[in-house]
Amino acid sequence: MNQADLTFVDGLIERIGQNPDAVIPILQAIQEHYRYLPREVLERVCEISEITPARIEGVATFYTQFRHRPAGEHTIRVCVGTACHVQGAGAVHDGFCRHLDIPPDDDTDAAGVFTVEKVACLGCCSLAPVVQIGDVTYGHLSGDTAADAVRDFLNLQSRRVHRKARPVEPGAEVGEIRISLDTCCIARGCGAVYEALCEAVARSGARASVKRVGCTGMSYITPLVEVVLPGLPPSLYAGVKPEDAEAIVLRHFRPGGIMRKIKTSASHILENILTDDAWEPVTRYSTDVREAIISEFTGPQKRIATEQAGSADPADLDEYISGGGFEALRKCTDELSPEQVIDEITRSGLRGRGGAGFVTGLKWLHVRQAHGEKKYIICNGDEGDPGAFMDRLLLESQPYRIIEGVVIAAYAVGADEGIFYIRAEYPLAIKRMTDAIEQCRQRNLLGPKLRLRIVPGAGAFVCGEETALIASIEGRRGMPRPRPPYPAQSGLNGKPTLVNNTETFSMVPWIIRNGAGAFSDTGTDLSKGTKVFALAGRVVRGGLVEVPMGITIHEIVEQIGGGIIDSKAFKAVQIGGPSGGCIPASLADTPIDYESLVGVGAFMGSGGLVVLDETDCMVDIARYFLAFTQDQSCGKCTFCRIGTRQMLDILNRICSGEGRGDDLERLEHLAGAVGKSSLCGLGKSAPNPVISTLRYFRDEYEAHLAGVCPAGVCKDLIKYVITDDCIGCTLCAQHCPADAIEMKPHEKHEIDVEKCIRCGTCMRVCPADAIKVE
């Protein structure tokens, strides 16, 4: 090892610490530096710290974040989350590997420029299939456009210049231009629009401030810009491009300063253009259009957890406070005893939003009553469901709100140390929370003894499970342990620990401010209040929605989601992600509450809600989720480690047309055994997607056994054929990545079934709709 490496490692240990519980942050720092974990560096860490070789190797090979081979210069993250999966993420991944010539057992191209990784939901499901290259996000990709994305990225790299917008003078503004700036919005170009708006304001001298706000939940039309002028109804522009910025600014604000004259005449011209129907971009997205969509989109929703999302600058503590922030906390500490706070939460009927729906007040009471001086509080922001991103948006768009919830809970249960466990895949959430905690600390909002810190997860779904999460914070492999004892009795470092989900905490300040009654007025008998869902899949409008408990699936799909894309037939919704199940369209009247969902074989889960239509194969969906849980099993207990693998083998067999007669019985038996006797919730719930699809879509399984995939999804069971509608344009032949179509201008083309890799590219490019699946 050379001197530079030595200095780096030694400095690292000095900075992060040398106790075993520092192992994950140390590994993360090493990986950030080297882009993988070099063996000598790990050995050096063991030499100079309390971390043993067994510990470091065990941890480094447990979490998916860690690499053991050098990575390429740029990482291509192909989202294989639920929404992206159903829209063909597999083909996109294959497309990148093909374009970069990466062999199946590798992930990095020969030149070491790109590493291709599969990741769970990137949180921009409405752009599915989504891919992140470096810090640039590309949406709506397909196998054949992978190459374009790579080219575009390289292009961008070569001419990347940093534009810094001039800040607007303070005090001068009369109006506000709001733009949502979350990861998914940034992906859609909101960053560039933000800069363009700042520039336009600065140039024109308009008396306006440009403001970042959290997500509005309408990710299907971002970049979304809202212009707010005192006394006027706000105007909303959707799908804004940087070049529209100037026109928007000049439309609402009179330019000031020296430029005024010139600009006024310019704006005259612009006004003309604006009313000119030929100039589409702005008229197309003007206020009137919004009314139609948004009232429906927001209509049946009710905002509690996401109350401030979209109207406040997430980083602005003053704005949070002036909007009623920390009032709830003040009320608690000034007027209520801890017991009274717990009582209020209990009376509200709030149940945990992390999945199982345990009564929150009761959990708080258990921690309050547990013996011990030292108590911890943990905010679970691991959000592992591959189709969900609401915790991320909560953390990104209202960090103070979550902090307030945690501080109230800490007061109630008597904890003096709080930890936000946030997945490392959410860098923006981590940054905003870090900043927000610091702000609160400086303003003394955390009280005299409460310490808050952030622990980033390292990529393991099972670490959402509370005992595994605690193991991970302690710097161990994220393996769950049996409960009891529950964390409320013996959690982090063996001390009583309150673990709640991010959304749960987000509900707390609202309940305290508005009273338990106001909360329990919404919802059903046993499920009170609202639930945030990440609505995605085959709906016209996807995004984040917060709905009252008790709303039916039908209402969510039709009224909020705007129905199915292309008027296809609605088939099912998948609720609860890998732990949940599929509810068929025939049961769309099922109300969304904990008990009803369990009754129909699904599970509230953390809030992934993916809508499926006739083009989705239910066996493939079941296999998708099982492949996910199987991959994420920690490997500790027999049933989950081997049982899910056996189940997956069977499903793979069925999907490739090699199913055997007794496979369904075998699958059912295994599903029962794994569900009953696995150690933790991951294994216990892993069979749910299989059980529920077997229950409602058994005919599809049987069709596969007979060699047919009714939806035409399972690659080994379908073939693409060109019909007589072929006009001989040769487009398919030009695009086919496998050279399976011979170019025959003006003649009917044919697909060589042997060569065809079933990527579906030809079907997408065919202008005559002449290719179909058989």
Partner 1 sequence: MPHLMIDNRKVEVADGETILDAAKKLRIEIPTMCFLEGVRANASCMLCVVKVEGLAGLVPACATLARDGMKVQTDTDEIRTARTDALELLLSDHLGDCVATCQSACPAGLNIPLVLRQIAAGQTGDADGASEIPCDDCPAPCERACRRKQFDSPVSIRALMQYAAAAGLVVQPSGPDNRRRFSVHIGRLQEGEIEQFLAGTNRGGRIEPSDDGLTEDQARDEARRCMHCDCRKADACKLRYYAELYGAKARRYKGERRSFVQNREHPDVIYEPGKCIACGLCVRIAEDAREELGLTFIGRGFDVRVTVPFDRSIAEGLKTTALQCAAACPTGALSQR
Residues that bind ligand FES (CB under 6 A): 79, 81-84, 121-125, 128, 130, 387
Q: Closer to partner 1 by CB, 57 or 716: give it.
A: 57
Quote the DSSP letter at residue 189. T
Q: Which two tokens stand for residue 183?
A: 């990861």
Whichever of 531 and 758 has its CB closer to ligand FMN, that residue is 531
Piece in contact with ligand SF4 (CB under 6 A), picked from 13-21, 630-638, 664-672, 736-744: 630-638
Residues that bind partner 1 (CB under 8 A): 39, 42-43, 52-58, 61-62, 460, 477, 481-482, 484-485, 630-639, 641-646, 649, 673, 675-679, 684
Question: In this structure, what is the dihedral angle of CA atoms 399, 375, 364, 595, given to the nearest 10 degrees?
Answer: 80
DSSP annotation of 716 reads G
Q: Which is nearer to ligand SF4, 282 or 637 (CB)?
A: 637
**Token pair 């979490």: residue:** 63
Task: Decide if 607 contacts 390 (C-beta within 8 A).
Answer: yes
User: Considering only CA atoms, which of 503, 529, 498, 499 is closest in space to residue 348?
Assistant: 529
- Tokens at residue 558, please? 């039709």
- Binds 142, which of ligand FMN, partner 1, ligand SF4, none (CB < 5 to 8 A, cut-off by type)? none
Q: Which is nearer to ligand SF4, 331 or 684 (CB)?
A: 684
Task: Look up residue 513 and give its two tokens.
Answer: 């401010």
- CA gap 112, 168 in Å, rounded: 43
Q: Which is nearer to ligand FES, 425 or 700 (CB)?
A: 425
To ligand FES, the closest distance from the beta carbon of 123 in angstroms equals 6
Q: Give the CB-nearest residue to ligand FES.
A: 81
Partner whose footprint covers residue 635, from ligand FMN, ligand SF4, ligand FES, none (CB < 5 to 8 Å by kind): ligand SF4
Looking at the Cβ atoms of 465 and 555, the one nearer to ligand SF4 is 465
CA dist 381 and 388 (Å) reads: 12
Q: Does 325 bind ligand SF4 (CB under 6 A)?
A: no
Decide which of ligand FMN, partner 1, ligand FES, none touches 699; Cβ closer than 5 to 8 Å per partner kind. none
d(CA 462, CA 472): 10
Positive or negative torsion for Cα 245, 246, 252, 257: positive
CB of 638 to ligand FES, least distance (A): 8
User: Which of ligand FMN, ligand SF4, ligand FES, none lies near 399, with the C-beta cut-off 5 to 8 A by kind?
Assistant: none
- Measured from the CB of residue 693, what is the shortest distance to ligand FES in angstroms? 19
The DSSP string of 260-284 is: HHHHHHHHHHHHHHHH-TT-HHHHH
Q: CA nearest 408: which of 468, 332, 336, 478?
A: 332
Answer for the pair 509, 401: CB distance below 8 angstroms, yes or no: yes
- Report what 187 binds from partner 1, ligand SF4, ligand FES, none; CB cut-off 5-8 Å by kind: none
Q: Which is nearer to ligand SF4, 355 or 683 (CB)?
A: 683
d(CA 290, CA 284): 10
Residues 664-693 touching ligand SF4, rule: CB under 6 A, are: 678-680, 682-683
Q: What is the largest CA-CA distance in the chain?
A: 83
The full length of the chain comes to: 774
Among partner 1, ligand FES, ligand SF4, none, what does residue 55 contact (CB within 5–8 Å per kind)? partner 1
Judging by DSSP bridges, how do beta strands 451-457 and 417-423 pair with one another? parallel
Q: How far is the CB of 730 from ligand FMN (least distance, A)?
A: 49
The minimum distance between CB 636 and ligand FES, in angstroms, equals 9
Q: Which two tokens mark 751?
A: 């697909």
Residues that bind ligand SF4 (CB under 6 A): 462, 480, 633-637, 640-641, 678-680, 682-683
